[in-house]
Structure 1
């Protein structure tokens, strides 16, 4: 990296560390200090925008982390957009020649090189007509993008280590290395369009059960060129919603939320950037999600706990939310768990059953994060990416159907989510795993009994109660007998049973 760019990175990290050190008190801040915070927040946003695409993504993640940055920085970073001025087509033509060969023009009947459909820091997008007459979208990566982003990743790692040593309290509630790795993993497909094409294929499989959710078809993919079908309608941030009926608006909003919930909790792969510019809407066709370069993936355990968090919100259960949130991360040695539960007791009733027009779910998530950090609870590194996705989809749905309640839609989708989770738990692979866990736990129990009998024979009694971590009922357990798996399984089986009874009754009536 150039010396000037290194100085910009160092300046940005200095501003962020200053923000963290002066943002302990969020209430009763003097007017002069508040003005200083706002000026610093503005400089942070401007520096991030000047540094380019990778840093914009980092800023968007920071915009969801109220446990790290001040309110002033949160407000500034919330408006970050990954868009730049359009470059002449001549800049991208060498990329097309390198990726598609010297006869690349033969693939197209027409290319609108004058008015690109979009221009972002990583790529530029054009409307094209293929040789067979189909209209399509051509996405071409900017020259040198990969090298710049990799250099930025290395620079951020170094700067974050220095910042972590300067502000130890960040490291207590935020796993900096793991959080950075999550960002890096999510950005990799944006640097290789063949990976984005695979995500789109998986997204299409996820959308098969949704009549109103669509993913573009991929016609051709190389590491730096992507050719895909044209999404019908207009981007949500530009669409004239007056041509949509109320029923159409609510259906699209509900389908979008349900599709994303399914990604979070069942598929465990989700679109990480569903902002209004990445969602095209059409009155009859529904919604089309584009730009699958940035996706998130979560494991089975985090997905199940996420279901518990939203279920607790829907049921106005502050204690359940506090417990599930703590398990998603880790309680530090100085954690105040009772204090966190009291915080949730005040917060949860304000969230439950509110419509999107009355509730900013992103702000609600921000408040939970902040309370957790203040009470000494380290949040899972994946929460930043989840928070970004949830905040974006909530903002998108608020545009088209603000009267919807995100939690009510979740409750409607919960039946299918629970059935899928139960089916997963009862699958052959999971059954085999549980059997192995019980065998290991059984062996441990046998060893303890032998030790007990030997101690009794020697007139000494030493008893060790508990199973091996990760094998059942221990507080660190993640096995078949843990308290979070049993309720999910029971609920799923109950729903499955109700469905079978309903189906049987319908069959009997038909007979």
Structure 2
């Protein structure tokens, strides 16, 4: 299967060498021509090491995979979430050339000063501090030279590997071709900084007003759209430090909790709840490095390269799912999971409900403060995977975003509890789901629907009664699970027909042979030959089917 790969580019040989060196047993057996066992993913540690050895693009792929707990179990998500690209910064002359190429005007006319030493360096880009000609301090995010060529080559290779792996059972279960295409699009979006600029501006606009928190206390950096291109992103400079590095003293009255810490965690959590349940557009990677505590006491959200979107129907289902988890309602959780799933049907509904019952039973006698919402949501996705229910990718992003946010919040404020923060907002959430921001149009639409229903119902009921009394009522039934029975009955009927045909041919040939007419001798032999062939074919087919008994 992989012989074509080993004979092409050196990059492909590098991948095979890395796989062999890191000890992925299944792939080793496959690549070396041995007899492979049941297809299996490498262990979380092995997969992480493989991606690190393959380089920055694959580290980014691992980071993208870590946002999909709907695909991978929690141990894989934990292992991939720690991936960081250890990439040395590009020399300033090369970075300067990229900036000069992307910005039409002379740098001197646009920037008073650019610090040649980067403040951060990643697999895709690095960030420099600068001062515009008007004196404003900005951060310049510059794409690494040549990274787009490398990404395009690796995307083509990933698609080839996914196409090959899709022929295996594990490839079909995970739908690797669609997954590869999805991640390829995400990587290409990261190469276009105008996409990140658009996401940042939309998020900043959405969070500029709120009923749940003070928008003045939350900052999303402004983008300088005039200087932003596909490879250069110029944004507002923010003085601060990552949330978990913030030097906030704990309170003397309550040593384990500081009021400033509680205010920051509550602010950030309510901001993300608004993004998810109200706006339907949310920052999908709120790890501690993207959450900042500014020197003036405000909080900031950075790096909007990865976002998620939720339609109103999904928002409503996820809101009800939260309530079902709080109520420990297994039956309702299973029903809502089916509504989220692409197939909308479980192979074994009783097993699905049983799995949810076992999941929630662990929390029956526990206080809400002891429940880790991110952990519960991960387990919900695990139940869906176990029952072969495929959930949309945005649901995985939603779970990962909440889990990341909860993890950062609990580290920053040890007594912070997600469900305690959600409960005061529940009534407002449900009010928004039912009547929206402006209840009058909703009430008018409902009144019109009721009016139309009341006008149509008598006529429809009369037509139904007419059909019943005239015996012209027809029922269209679609019973699931009968396809196998239909095929079995068809096969049995076909074999019975062949048996009757063979018997008839034999009887006809015997009757013709009894007449002892030379002219009909050839017809008798022909009938015997056809009967013998059909009889032999029928016997072989029965023996091969294994249903002789």
- State the TM-score bracket (shorter-chain normalisation): 0.7 to 0.9
Does residue 213 (structure 1) correspond to residue 226 (structure 2)? The answer is: no
Look up the match of 2:190. 190
Look up the match of 2:335. 323
Quick one: distance in 2 between partners of 1:321 and 1:255?
29
- Looking at both structures, which has the greater relative contact order when contacts are Cα pairs under 8 Å and sequence separation is at least 6? 1
Does residue 135 (structure 1) correspond to residue 141 (structure 2)? The answer is: no
* Paired residues, number: 446
How far 1:280 sits from its partner (Å)?
0.9
Does residue 368 (structure 1) correspond to residue 380 (structure 2)? The answer is: yes
Decide whether the 8 Å contact of 2:124 with 2:144 is kept in 1.
yes
Q: 1:82 to 1:426 in 2, by over 3 A?
A: farther
Mapping for residues 50-89 of structure 1, pairs under 5 Å = 50-63=53-66, 69=72, 73-82=76-85, 84-89=87-92
Q: 1:180 to 1:426 in 2, by over 3 A?
A: farther
Deviates more, 1:219-228 or 1:373-382: 373-382
Mapping for residues 405-420 of structure 1, pairs under 5 Å = 405-420=417-432
Match of 1:393 among 380, 395, 405: 405
Decide whether the 8 Å contact of 2:70 with 2:391 is kept in 1.
no
Quick one: distance in 2 between partners of 1:135 and 1:177?
44
Decide whether the 8 Å contact of 1:262 with 1:417 is kept in 2.
no
Between Structure 1 and Structure 2, whose CA radius of gyration is higher? 2
Quick one: distance in 2 between partners of 1:142 and 1:330?
38
User: What SS does structure 2 have at the residue aligned with 1:240?
Assistant: coil
Quick one: distance in 1 between partners of 2:104 and 2:86?
29
Match of 2:94 among 91, 94, 117: 91
Q: Give a deviation string over 1:420-458, Cα, whole Å, max 9, x none.
A: 333169686998799799989x9999899768746754x
Quick one: distance in 2 between partners of 1:281 and 1:87?
28
How far 1:328 sits from its partner (Å)?
0.8
Quick one: distance in 1 between partners of 2:395 and 2:44?
23
How far 1:410 sits from its partner (Å)?
1.8
Q: 1:184 to 1:305 in 2, by over 3 A?
A: farther
Q: Give a deviation string over 1:164-193, Cα, whole Å, max 9, x none.
A: 32125x634x45455445444544442222
Mapping for residues 89-488 of structure 1, pairs under 5 Å = 89-101=92-104, 103-114=106-117, 116-168=118-170, 171-172=172-173, 174-208=174-208, 209=210, 210-219=215-224, 220-242=227-249, 246-282=258-294, 284-330=296-342, 335-348=347-360, 350=362, 354-355=368-369, 360-421=372-433, 422-423=435-436, 453=466, 456-457=469-470, 459-463=471-475
Deviates more, 1:119-128 or 1:341-350: 341-350
Quick one: distance in 1 between partners of 2:444 and 2:27?
47
Q: 1:350 to 1:202 in 2, by over 3 A?
A: farther
How far 1:92 sits from its partner (Å)?
1.0
Quick one: distance in 1 between partners of 2:18 and 2:317?
35
Decide whether the 8 Å contact of 1:302 with 1:328 is kept in 2.
yes
Does residue 6 (structure 1) correspond to residue 12 (structure 2)? The answer is: yes
Mapping for residues 24-39 of structure 1, pairs under 5 Å = none
Q: 1:445 to 1:368 in 2, by over 3 A?
A: farther
Decide whether the 8 Å contact of 1:332 with 1:376 is kept in 2.
no
| TM-score, normalised via structure 1 length | 0.74
How far 1:195 sits from its partner (Å)?
1.9
Q: 1:39 to 1:336 in 2, by over 3 A?
A: closer
Q: 1:434 to 1:272 in 2, by over 3 A?
A: farther
Quick one: distance in 2 between partners of 1:139 and 1:411?
39
Q: 1:187 to 1:39 in 2, by over 3 A?
A: closer
Quick one: distance in 1 between partners of 2:73 and 2:467?
60
Deviates more, 1:74-83 or 1:226-235: 74-83
Q: 1:66 to 1:140 in 2, by over 3 A?
A: closer
Q: Give a deviation string over 1:224-269, Cα, whole Å, max 9, x none.
A: 1111111232112432233787111111111111111221122111
Quick one: distance in 1 between partners of 2:450 and 2:466?
24
Q: Give a deviation string over 1:396-438, Cα, whole Å, max 9, x none.
A: 2122122111122122233333333331696869987997999
Decide whether the 8 Å contact of 1:8 with 1:47 is kept in 2.
no
**Structure 2 portions without partners, runs of 5+:** 30-39, 252-256, 479-549
Quick one: distance in 1 between partners of 2:169 and 2:316?
33
Decide whether the 8 Å contact of 2:68 with 2:393 is kept in 1.
no
Quick one: distance in 1 between partners of 2:373 and 2:292?
22
Q: Give a deviation string over 1:340-389, Cα, whole Å, max 9, x none.
A: 3233233335567544xx55544333322222222232222323322332
Q: 1:123 to 1:136 in 2, by over 3 A?
A: same
Q: 1:283 to 1:134 in 2, by over 3 A?
A: closer
How far 1:221 sits from its partner (Å)?
1.6
Quick one: distance in 2 between partners of 1:18 and 1:64?
26
Quick one: distance in 1 between partners of 2:187 and 2:443?
31
Provide the alpha-carbon RMSD of the alignment.
4.1
Q: 1:64 to 1:233 in 2, by over 3 A?
A: closer
User: What SS does structure 1 have at the residue aligned with 2:315?
Assistant: helix
Quick one: distance in 2 between partners of 1:58 and 1:406?
29
